[in-house]
Amino acid sequence: KRMEGNGLVSSVSFQMFTNSDEAVINKKLPKELLLRIFSFLDVVTLCRCAQVSRSWNVLALDGSNWQRIDLFDFQRDIEGRVVENISKRCGGFLRKLSLRGCLGVGDSALRTFSQNCRNIELLSLNGCTKITDSTCNSLSKFCPKLKHLDLASCTSITNLSLKALSEGCPLLEQLNISWCDQVTKDGIQALVRSCPGLKGLFLKGCTQLEDEALKHIGSHCPELVTLNLQTCSQITDEGLITICRGCHRLQSLCVSGCANITDAILHALGQNCPRLRILEVARCSQLTDVGFTTLARNCHELEKMDLEECVQITDGTLIQLSIHCPRLQVLSLSHCELITDDGIRHLGSGPCAHDRLEVIELDNCPLITDASLEHLKSCHSLDRIELYDCQQITRAGIKRLRTHLPNIKVHAYFAPVTPPPSVGGSRQRFCRCCVLL
């Protein structure tokens, strides 16, 4: 026996965790149960367990324990050979792998990976900038069960990748090719015609996409739930209306930075997409109260709306949202300079206010005063409010709000007080700071 803390640990207990392959834990528990225990461990812990003993090395490195791997929080500066070794160890067990941000991984390693891990369903290569069309050819050839693929910021990807995926990965449900700016309507057409089960398309920053690409999506993706077209600046009402009419299950749409769209889109969403929960239309300056009225009256499940720089909207939009959208949780109105305290009053008394509203952003809303904060004090779920450059908001107003909502995060900025100019011939013309500068 030996001393351990305040008590004694028997030699038997100590032997439970000794390096010996004859440790009691290995004798008492069957391999299947040990494997089951190991299956709950993360990558780092499995690697540590593999160093305990020969038997634990075998157990820890068993492919059944490596069905889901995410290296993002572990180590991102890995080389391709690490991915090859992982693929050989996991084989057909591996279902989910994230190599997000692994800049050193290229096409060769992913070809070996594809050959070994043919049951892969979810693969993230977000930010793996060495990846080219060759990787998608490998995935197409060897990984027919692929459902989720993230290629965001893999800027060498072209239409050839989408054509390859359409030929070999018919089960694809979610694809992220944000910032792959070489992709055009031809690639989108090939993809959607062969992958009818697509539910999520992330095309942020695909600046070559035009309305023709959206028409293909609207015609072939009836299951689509999420669509991100942020900064796809060439698209217009024509293409988006096709999306609305063909994708009735749409729940999340981002068209922020698409400056050509008008109220026609909001009418189309209201008439065709009643399940809409998230709408991001920041910097869409042609949208007005008329469009948002139609939207609010038909889309009662809205939870998050980003209306930043929708400069034409007024309190009328807030009145409609307060009446018809009881599930609203997040609302951005930054740079909507026509919004006043009266609009916030309606919002604060609406059905979403008491139990749902969590975030409201009012940066650069010059007509907002402390009265708005009074109207929001009954919003018990309110977690954060943004008030940068709201000139009429005071510290006293924020302090009063905090007496009702003590845990709220208030982000505001108050410029330092400038000393008044000196008066009189003999007194200095500048404040002390200016003299020092």
Alpha-carbon separation of residue 20 from 2, 203, 321, 365 (angstroms): 18, 54, 67, 69
Half-sphere exposure of 293 (CA within 13 A, CB side): 8
The answer to whether 238 touches 261, Cβ cutoff 8 Å, is no
420: confidence class by pLDDT, cuts 50, 70, 90: low
Does the pLDDT at position 17 exceed 50?
no
Structure-block tokens of residue 311: 């400069």
Which pLDDT tens digit goes with each residue over 178-226? 999 999 999 999 999 999 999 999 999 999 999 999 999 999 999 999 9
Residues 6+ apart with CB under 8 A from 207: 181, 231, 232, 233, 234
Does the pLDDT at position 246 exceed 50?
yes
Please tell me the predicted confidence (pLDDT) of residue 77: 75
Mean pLDDT of 329-336: 98
Category of 410 on φ-ψ map: left (φ > 0), alpha (ψ -120 to 50) or beta:
beta
Mean pLDDT of 61-80: 78
Distance CA 167, CA 194 (A): 7
Does the pLDDT at position 7 exceed 50?
no
More confident residue, 47 or 188: 188
Does the pLDDT at position 12 exceed 70?
no
Does the pLDDT at position 416 exceed 90?
no
Does the pLDDT at position 15 exceed 90?
no
Please tell me the predicted confidence (pLDDT) of residue 66: 80
Report percent pLDDT > 70 for the chain.
88
Structure-block tokens of residue 281: 């239309």
Which pLDDT tens digit goes with each residue over 110-164? 999 999 999 999 999 999 999 999 999 999 999 999 999 999 999 999 999 999 9
Mean pLDDT of 58-84: 80
Other C-beta atoms closer than 10 Å to the C-beta of 279 total 25
Please tell me the predicted confidence (pLDDT) of residue 42: 80
Pick the CATH number of 26-65 from 1.20.1280, 3.30.70, 1.10.3470, 1.10.10: 1.20.1280
Please tell me the predicted confidence (pLDDT) of residue 73: 64
Alpha-carbon separation of residue 419 from 181, 210, 390, 423, 432 (angstroms): 52, 55, 21, 12, 9
Which pLDDT tens digit goes with each residue over 223-239? 999 999 999 999 999 99
* Pairing mode of beta strands 409-411, 7-9: unpaired
Which pLDDT tens digit goes with each residue over 371-388? 999 999 999 999 999 999
Please tell me the predicted confidence (pLDDT) of residue 437: 38
Which range is least confidently modeled, 56-65, 283-292, 298-307, 335-344?
A: 56-65
Which range is least confidently modeled, 53-57, 102-106, 174-178, 283-287?
A: 53-57
Mean pLDDT of 327-331: 98
Packed helices 133-142 and 159-168: angle between N→C axes, nearest 10 degrees: 0
Mean of the per-residue pLDDT values of the chain: 89
Mean pLDDT of 238-256: 98
46: confidence class by pLDDT, cuts 50, 70, 90: confident
The distance of Cα 228 from the centroid of its chain, to the nearest Å, equals 11
Residue type, 351: P
Report percent pLDDT > 90 for the chain.
74
Please tell me the predicted confidence (pLDDT) of residue 421: 58
pTM of this prediction? Answer: 0.86
SS3 of residue 253 by DSSP: strand
Angle at 236 between CA 232 and CA 237, to 5 degrees: 135
More confident residue, 50 or 208: 208
Where in the sequence of the chain do the CATH 1.20.1280 domains occur?
26-65
435: confidence class by pLDDT, cuts 50, 70, 90: very low
Pick the CATH number of 272-414 from 2.60.40.1180, 3.80.10.10, 3.30.70.580, 3.40.50.970: 3.80.10.10
Please tell me the predicted confidence (pLDDT) of residue 6: 43
Which of 135, 104, 132 lies closest to 120 in space, CA to CA?
A: 135
Please tell me the predicted confidence (pLDDT) of residue 436: 38
SS3 of residue 188 by DSSP: helix
State the DSSP code for 427: S
Distance CA 263, CA 312 (A): 11
Mean pLDDT of 167-188: 98
Which of 395, 381, 288, 269 lies closest to 336 in space, CA to CA?
A: 288
Distance CA 54, CA 31 (A): 13
The answer to whether 116 touches 93, Cβ cutoff 8 Å, is no
Where in the sequence of the chain do the CATH 3.80.10.10 domains occur?
272-414
Mean pLDDT of 97-102: 92
Please tell me the predicted confidence (pLDDT) of residue 69: 86
Which pLDDT tens digit goes with each residue over 261-291? 999 999 999 999 999 999 999 999 999 999 9
Structure-block tokens of residue 10: 């028997």
Which of 266, 244, 381 lies closest to 326 in space, CA to CA?
A: 381
Please tell me the predicted confidence (pLDDT) of residue 166: 97
